[in-house]
Amino acid sequence: MNNVTATSDAGAGSGPSDTEPRSYFTNLVIRWTFAADINATQAADAQFQSLESALESADGDIRDAMHLMDDQHGKTAIDATNSLQTLSETCADVSKDAKNLRTALSRYASAMSVVRSRYEGFISEASAHGMTVKGDYRNCSLSYEDRPPVAWSGFVDRVF
């Protein structure tokens, strides 16, 4: 779902004869992809809410039909009542599964919203500190090629 990579030249000398490690980055690239489609997940959650309502309504209709069959006699009436009972139980099972799926989707969307907000905050802070930003929270590349400004070092220390 998430793929984050970072590359830098930290620890390398500035030239072939320079073997002293650097204590700063002169080049840094951070890339990521965030594959979660939060809007689609929230839309699916809304669809499951509609499904739950439809299933509850259908179960009510089935139970009403069962009550109408209570006063009927004969093998056909018994078979119809049994079929309606099975249908009602199936409807209840599907409704339970739909509620569980909706709960899972809702929790997933909430968790991914937090991740999205963190990525958006990271992008905003990186941009404010002079990094080049390409893309958005879903597919982003942050980079700089020259030694960062002094104010940026605190940001790098927090991230790494």
Closest CA to 146 of 29, 27, 12, 10: 27
Tens of pLDDT, residues 51-74: 988 999 999 999 999 999 888 888
Tens of pLDDT, residues 123-144: 898 888 878 889 888 888 888 7
Q: Is the pLDDT score of 13 beyond 50?
A: no
Over residues 93-115, mean pLDDT: 91
Domain extent at residue 107: 2-159
Confidence of residue 12 (pLDDT cuts 50, 70, 90): very low
Sign for the CA dihedral angle at 22, 24, 26, 30 comes to positive
pTM, to two decimals = 0.64
| Average pLDDT of every residue of the chain | 80
pLDDT of residue 132: 84
pLDDT of residue 114: 92
Closest CA to 30 of 149, 150, 125: 125
Q: How many independent structural domains does the chain possess?
A: 1
